[in-house]
Amino acid sequence: MKKWIFGIGLVVLVLYLAALIAIPRVSPRPDGLGVTNGQLKPCPGTPNCISTQSTRDDAYEKRQPIGLDIPANQAIDRLVAIIKGMPRTTIIENTDTYLYVEFRTLAMRYIDDVEFYIDAQNGVIHYRSASRLGRSDLGVNGKRMEEIEARFTKEQ
Looking up residue 58, the CATH number of its domain turns out to be 3.30.310.80
Which burial class, exposed, middle or buried, applies to 51 when counting CB atoms under 10 A from its CB (0-12, 13-18, 19+)?
buried
Domain-embedded: residue 37 = yes
129 belongs to a structural domain: yes
Average of pLDDT values for 65-86? 96
Q: Total domain count for the chain? A: 1
The verdict on residue 35 lying in a domain is: yes
The residue segments making up the domain with residue 118 are 31-154
Residue 134: the pLDDT is 83
pLDDT one-digit tens code per residue, 130-155? 999 888 888 899 999 999 999 999 87
Mean pLDDT computed over every residue of the chain: 87
User: Is residue 10, in this structure, part of any structural domain at all?
Assistant: no
- Percent pLDDT > 70 in the chain is 84
Does 22 reside within a domain? no
In a domain, 5, yes or no: no
Residues 6+ apart with CB under 8 A from 151: 82
pLDDT: is 20 or 39 the higher one?
A: 39
* Entry pTM: 0.83
Q: What is the Cα–Cα distance from 91 to 102, expressed in whole angstroms?
A: 6
> Residue 57 — very low, low, confident or very high, per pLDDT cuts 50/70/90?
confident
Q: For 22-39, write each residue's pLDDT tens digit.
A: 555 567 899 999 999 999
Taking the C-alpha atoms of residue 11 and residue 107, their distance in angstroms, rounded to an integer, is 17
**Could you tell me the pLDDT band of residue 18, with boundaries at 50, 70 and 90?**
low
